[in-house]
């Protein structure tokens, strides 16, 4: 193909810039997040398009930090989900600090799940609240949906809900033995009495660094997305998103090579690149019929500040997901 002088000069400049020490080079493997404006700071985002129009995002930080948007591009700070921490939160940490919320709509109400814990312990609980509108300041807390104790081999944080075959399930988990799942009572939104704790994914090596599950159904498969490696270390974070699938919501989940996620398997979906470090804390929501991946990354161009990443999630002919 012949190039004009202008095109050839442009390509030469681009090549020189790519080779200059200290210059950033776009990673052709992983897409950058879609451009957004306004309040971009967020951690462990859960996002939903509201029935009333517009979008809301909840996240770790504050009393479950809230962001709202009319167009999914400009985001505004909307305070917190709750005015003040429910008193039972203090059983799990001294500051009443909640983590990693999950937002969904079911049975005519919005449902918000979240975790309360302390760093490095599995004395943890997942709480549940409901709202008629999904907006901050409208939530009624209903207490614990599920809890773990120091004698348990799992950790009750990072909740995510999915309905499957007329039943309601919650995946959860962080380190310890990885990702777990319990069945919920659809009426109360809380774990069934003596619910079996299913095991979905783990790593073969301590400290079993896999957490933050999210499950969606596509075609005849359920897809388990999870964050692997190190969170919450700014530009030193190594979070990345991996995925496996199963024909049953309770597993077993395997990657595209057939390796079980219970044996450390998982296809790499999105990893840090350029200024976008430690991509993880993911969730998925529907917007006008398309799946959208929400996650946080640490902005290396802004001192490692955690920010909101949004990308369209598409599906290949072989059934596996890809990020656009």
CB atoms within 10 A of CB 90: 13
The total number of residues shown for the chain amounts to: 324
The catalytic residue among 211, 255, 267, 282 is: 211
- Measured distance CA(308)–CA(306) in Å, rounded: 7
- Measured distance CA(197)–CA(169) in Å, rounded: 11
- Measured distance CA(12)–CA(110) in Å, rounded: 54
Q: End-to-end alpha-carbon separation of the chain, Å?
A: 28
Residue with tokens 């614990």: 144
- Measured distance CA(84)–CA(98) in Å, rounded: 11
The catalytic residue among 44, 141, 158, 282 is: 44
44 as an active site residue: the answer is: yes
35 DSSP assignment: P
CB atoms within 10 A of CB 322: 14
- Measured distance CA(16)–CA(96) in Å, rounded: 52
Q: How far is CA 295 from the centre of its chain?
A: 5
CA-based nearest residue to 281, from 293, 290, 273: 293
Cis peptide before 205 (omega within 30 of 0): no
CB atoms within 10 A of CB 231: 21
Active site residue ranges: 44, 211
């Amino acid at each position: 193909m012949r190039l004009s002088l202008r095109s050839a000069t442009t390509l030469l400049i681009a090549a020189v810039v790519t080779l200059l020490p200290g210059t950033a080079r776009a990673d052709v493997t992983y897409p950058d997040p879609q451009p957004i404006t306004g309040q971009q700071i967020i951690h462990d985002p859960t996002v939903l398009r509201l029935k009333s129009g517009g979008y809301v995002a909840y996240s770790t930080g504050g009393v479950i930090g809230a962001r709202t948007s009319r167009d999914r591009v400009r985001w505004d700070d909307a305070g917190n989900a709750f005015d003040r921490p429910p008193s039972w939160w203090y059983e799990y940490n001294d500051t009443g600090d909640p983590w990693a919320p999950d937002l969904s709509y079911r049975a005519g109400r919005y449902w918000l799940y979240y975790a309360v814990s302390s760093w490095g312990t599995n004395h943890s609980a997942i709480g549940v609240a409901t709202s008629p509108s999904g907006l901050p300041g409208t939530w009624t807390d209903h207490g614990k949906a599920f809890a773990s104790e120091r004698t348990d081999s799992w950790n009750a944080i990072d909740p995510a809900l999915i309905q499957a075959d007329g039943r309601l399930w919650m995946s959860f988990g962080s380190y310890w033995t990885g990702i777990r799942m319990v069945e919920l009572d659809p009426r109360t939104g809380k774990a069934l009495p003596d619910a079996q704790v299913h095991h979905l994914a783990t790593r073969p090596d301590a400290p079993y660094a896999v957490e933050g599950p999210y499950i969606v159904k596509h075609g005849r498969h359920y897809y388990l997305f999870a964050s692997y490696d190190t969170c919450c270390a700014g530009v030193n974070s190594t979070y990345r998103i991996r995925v496996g699938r199963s024909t049953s919501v309770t597993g077993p989940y395997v990657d595209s090579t057939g390796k079980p996620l219970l044996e450390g398997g998982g296809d790499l979906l999105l990893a840090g690149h350029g200024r976008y470090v430690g991509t993880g804390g993911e969730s998925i929501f529907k917007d006008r019929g398309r799946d959208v991946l929400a996650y946080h990354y640490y902005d290396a161009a802004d001192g490692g500040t955690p920010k909101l990443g949004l990308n369209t999630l598409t599906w290949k002919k072989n059934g596996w997901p890809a990020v656009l």
